[in-house]
Amino acid sequence: MSPSSPSCMIFTDTKRSLDGYIRMTFDALSNLNFPSKLAWQDEGLQQDLIVDDIPASCAGYCEWATEEAAPQISIGWAWFSLADGRTFVAPGGMSSNVMLVTQAGYDLGMHKTNELLHAWLARESWQPAEPASGAGQVLGHL
């Protein structure tokens, strides 16, 4: 595809569709810069996971966003850590305002987008640093 082809122009732009999704290819997503990276601990989430038989020693949320010019691309996920320090994405999957599309512009759908967001995250360094105590406390920028 040439850089000046119409589909390339559409799907590397962060334009919002009428349904609220920002549509882009996986390639475009993986080239984005996320200057805003927040992580915080949430004791309520930890308790919810424990009730669901997940032995979370701590848990919380991560939120990444592109630069502040609207529309910002927003990707978030819940996480939990085990007592040995290993950290995982919590059930519930990835949350975003992105719909991934094919190079031809067809929606991949919510489930495939979610799977690809997991794949994208697997290549990123996202695990929160040493968790601070206290519900809702921001752990800091990653």
Partner 1 sequence: MLTVVSGIKSQLAPGLELELAAYRYEVFIQTLHWQLPVENGLERDQFDRPDTLYVIARDVRQVVCGCARLLPTTQAYLLDEVFPGLMNGAPAPHASDVWELSRFSTKATGETPAISREEARRRFCVLFAAVAEAAIGQGATRLITFTAMGVERILRSIGMHAHRVGPPQLIDGEPVLALWIELDDQTRQALHLPLTESSALSH
Q: Rule CB under 8 A: which residues touch partner 1? A: 16, 19-21, 36, 40, 42, 44-45, 48, 51-52, 61, 63, 65, 70-72, 74, 76, 78, 90-93, 95-97, 99, 110, 136
Q: How far is the CB of 46 from partner 1 (least distance, A)?
A: 11
Please give the Cα distance from 126 to 63 (Å, whole number).
10
**Residue 116 DSSP one-character state:** H
Q: List CB contacts of 21: < 8 A, sequence separation 6 or more.
A: 97, 98, 99
Considering the complex, state which of residue 4 and residue 69 has its C-beta at the smaller distance from partner 1: 69
Q: How far is the CB of 4 from partner 1 (least distance, A)?
A: 27
Considering the complex, state which of residue 8 and residue 10 has its C-beta at the smaller distance from partner 1: 10
What six digits make up the tokens of 117? 């967001």
Q: How far is the CB of 73 from partner 1 (least distance, A)?
A: 9
Q: CB count, 10 Å around CB of 94?
A: 19
